[in-house]
Chains A and B, each alone.
Chain A
C-alpha cells in the first residue's frame, strides 16, 4: 500500500497524534478514563498503521523481534518488581504506601509505575501479534 500517496501522507500525520494520545491516556488515567491497558492498545495502533502501509518488514526494522521480546517481559517485570520493592521496604506485596514517606504519594508513584508496566507489555504484545499474523503472508 506504500504506493498510495494519500495513505502515506495521512499516516505520517496520524501516527504522531496516535502516539501522543496514547501517552495522554497513559499518564492521565489517574484523572480521567483510561489507563495502561487502553494506552498500550492505542500506542500499538500507531506502529500497526505504519506496518499496514509501509510493510511489516520496515516496521520490524524499528521493532525488532528481540526488542519486542524484551519489552513484553520488561512491563510484567516492572509490575511484579514494584510488588517486590514494597515487600523489601517492609510492607505487603503491592502495598504502594511504602514507596514514599507520604502514603498518598506512594500510592501515586506505585499506580504510575504499575500502569506503565501494563502499557509497555500490552503495546509490545499487540505489535508482536500483528507482526506474527501479518508477516506470514509475505513468506508463503
Chain B
C-alpha cells in the first residue's frame, strides 16, 4: 500500500515537473526543472531497486547535463522566443503517439511477474552463476564488466567518439596566456 502511494506521488510529481518545463519560457528555470525531473526519475529507479541506474541518472541527468545546458544557455540567451505558429499539430502528434504507447503497455506482462521473457532467458543464469564464476557481490557490475564486457567496450567507444566529436566540432582553444606569448 505504501509502495503504491510513493509511486503515485513520484509519478505525479514527474508529470507536474514535465508540464512546468513546457509552460515556462525562462530557459534558466527550465534547466532547473529538468534537474528536478532527473532527481525524481532517479528516485523512481531506487523504488524499483535499480540502484546503479538511479546513480547514473542522478550523476548524468541531474549533474552533468544541467551544467552543459547552463553553458549552452549562456551562449544562446536566457529567454525562449515565442513560437509564431499554433501548437495544435504538435499536440495532436504527441497525443496520438502517447495513446499508442499506452495502448502498447496493455499487452505487456504485469510488473515484476516471474514468467516474463526477460526473467526466463539469461538473467537467472547470471544471478545463479555470478557468485561462483566471478565472486563479487554486485551482480550488476559482474554483468556489465565481465559477462557483457563487449557491450561495455562498445559503450565506452561511443563516449570516446562523443568526446572526439565535440573536440572536432567545437574545438578547444589554447589558454589565453599561451596565445599571447605565441603571438
A residues at B contact (CB < 8 Å) = 25, 29-38, 41-42, 44-45, 48, 52, 57, 60-61, 64-65, 69, 72-73, 75-76, 79-80, 83, 93-94, 96, 104, 107-108, 110-111, 114-115, 117-118, 121-122, 124-126, 128-139
Contacts and interface: CB of A to CB of B under 8 A. Distances in A.
Interface string B133-147: 111111011101110
A45 B63 contact: yes
Contact of B163 (A38, A41, A72): A72
Contact of A133 (B71, B145, B163): B71
B60 A41 contact: yes
Given A121-B156, A133-B170, A33 B55 contact: yes
Nearest to B131: A104
A115 B56 contact: no
Interface stretch (B93-101, B118-126, B172-180): B172-180
Nearest to B144: A35
A137 B54 CA distance: 33
Contacts of B155: 37
B52 A34 contact: yes
B76 to A, nearest CB: 10
12 contacts: A30-B137, A30-B141, A31-B136, A31-B137, A73-B160, A122-B159, A125-B162, A132-B167, A133-B170, A135-B173, A136-B170, A137-B74
Contacts of A80: 153
A57 B145 CA distance: 36
Nearest to A49: B67
A136 B156 CA distance: 26
Given A76-B160, A124-B163, A133-B170, A111 B75 contact: no
A132 B163 CA distance: 10
Contacts of A31: 136-138
Nearest to A133: B71
Given A31-B136, A107-B133, A130 B157 contact: no
B176 A48 contact: no
B171 interface: yes
Contacts of B79: none
Interface string B53-84: 01110011001100110011011000000000
Contact of B175 (A60, A114, A130): A60
Contact of B173 (A29, A30, A124, A139): A139
Given A45-B63, A110-B146, A33 B138 contact: yes
